[in-house]
Amino acid sequence: MDGNLGKVVITGVEGRIGPTVRAGLRADADHLVLVDRAPITGVREEETAVETDIAELDTLVKAFDGADAVVHLAGIAEEAPFGELLGANVQGSFNVLEAARRCGVRRVVLFSTNRVTGGYPIHHHVFPDEPPRPDGLYGVSKVAAEALGQMYADTFGLEVVALRAGSFEEEPTETRHLATWLSPRDCVGFVRAALTAPNVSFVAAYAVSGNARRFWDLAVGENELGYKPVDDAARFASRFPDDDPFWHGGPQSGRYAGPEAVLPHLDG
């Protein structure tokens, strides 16, 4: 890698993860195209802001003109009514991939989620090529987004990396994060690796810090993307009770799984 990322589009740049990715890529990109439906703040000379909903395919095609890569963050990042998830995460990801294809963009980094396999029990070590086991409708929508990425890679030769992000936080704030924490530093590390790794067709990899208590395998990230995370939530372990019921069994998504998490978003 020569360090130059070229012209990179970041969708969903005004969310929780976006500013960290924006700051982390700035030094090595020629130009950043910032996409969000929310107002985009602090735009610099080497940045272009495009305020749009990702539902607007024609606007995305204009925004992606001449881009080398897209980091796709925009969407709904939690459990929600299925129709909303279909629009934002499935149709939205389709629009991003299709705009990338039309513009000849080389690579798309899709932000997926650990929740695509959040239904596996906590004592199961999950490899990215195991069958999906989404813990709710949000996870289902990201399974579909990953499938769209695989299809665009197989059919059109688009290079696609689906990063199954863990829990992005400055520091762990709950027991589960001892397994699932994704530090800002490792988040940028995974994104940079996803943008620069050679010989990519389609890769799905967990993007989680090197937490001693993690339940996701990191070999794909290390072998295919060339990134080994540097942080470990273990250094915060004393903040959380060892005997937390979370460790006694149940789904990896803990309180984010189960009927209490999904039912509020179902009609009737």
* 17 in Cβ contact with 73 (< 8 Å): yes
- Cα(227)–Cα(194) distance, integer angstroms: 9
H/E element, 16: none
Question: Which lies closer to ligand NAD via its Cβ, residue 108 or residue 165?
Answer: 165
- Cα(257)–Cα(207) distance, integer angstroms: 20
Query: By CB under 6 A, which span of 67-75, 170-178, 218-226, 253-261 interacts with ligand NAD?
Result: 67-75
Query: By CB under 6 A, which span of 34-42, 97-105, 116-124, 235-243 interacts with ligand NAD?
Result: 34-42
Interface pick for ligand NAD out of 5, 8, 10, 15 (rule CB under 6 A): 15
Question: Which lies closer to ligand NAD via its Cβ, residue 4 or residue 211?
Answer: 211
- Cα(6)–Cα(8) distance, integer angstroms: 6
Interface pick for ligand NAD out of 34, 49, 70, 77 (rule CB under 6 A): 77
Task: For residue 111, state whether it binds ligand NAD (rule: CB under 6 A).
Answer: yes
Q: Pick out residues in 153-212 that bind ligand NAD (CB under 6 A).
A: 165, 167-168
Torsion angle, CA of 90/91/95/98, rounded to 10 degrees? Answer: 70
Least distance to ligand NAD from the beta carbon of 20, Å? 9
* 216 in Cβ contact with 206 (< 8 Å): yes
Interface pick for ligand NAD out of 14, 135, 159, 232 (rule CB under 6 A): 14
Question: Which lies closer to ligand NAD via its Cβ, residue 54 or residue 197?
Answer: 54
Residues 6+ apart with CB under 8 A from 139: 113, 115, 116, 117, 118, 119, 132, 253
Task: For residue 75, state whether it binds ligand NAD (rule: CB under 6 A).
Answer: yes
Query: By CB under 6 A, which span of 15-23, 42-50, 129-137, 233-241 interacts with ligand NAD?
Result: 15-23
* Counts for the chain of helices (H) and strands (E), in that order: 9, 9
- Residues 138, 152, 227, 256: which is the catalytic one? 138
- Cα(110)–Cα(75) distance, integer angstroms: 11
Interface pick for ligand NAD out of 1, 4, 16, 255 (rule CB under 6 A): 16
Residue with tokens 């929780």: 16
Tell me the residue nearest to ligand NAD as measured from the CB: 15
Query: By CB under 6 A, which span of 61-69, 70-78, 189-197, 242-250 interacts with ligand NAD?
Result: 70-78
* 193 in Cβ contact with 222 (< 8 Å): no
Q: Is 120 a catalytic residue?
A: no
CA neighbours within 13 Å on the CB side: how many for 160? 29
Least distance to ligand NAD from the beta carbon of 102, Å? 18
Active site residues: 138
| Residue ranges that bind ligand NAD, judged by CB under 6 A | 12, 14-18, 36-38, 53-55, 73-75, 77, 88, 92, 111, 113, 165, 167-168
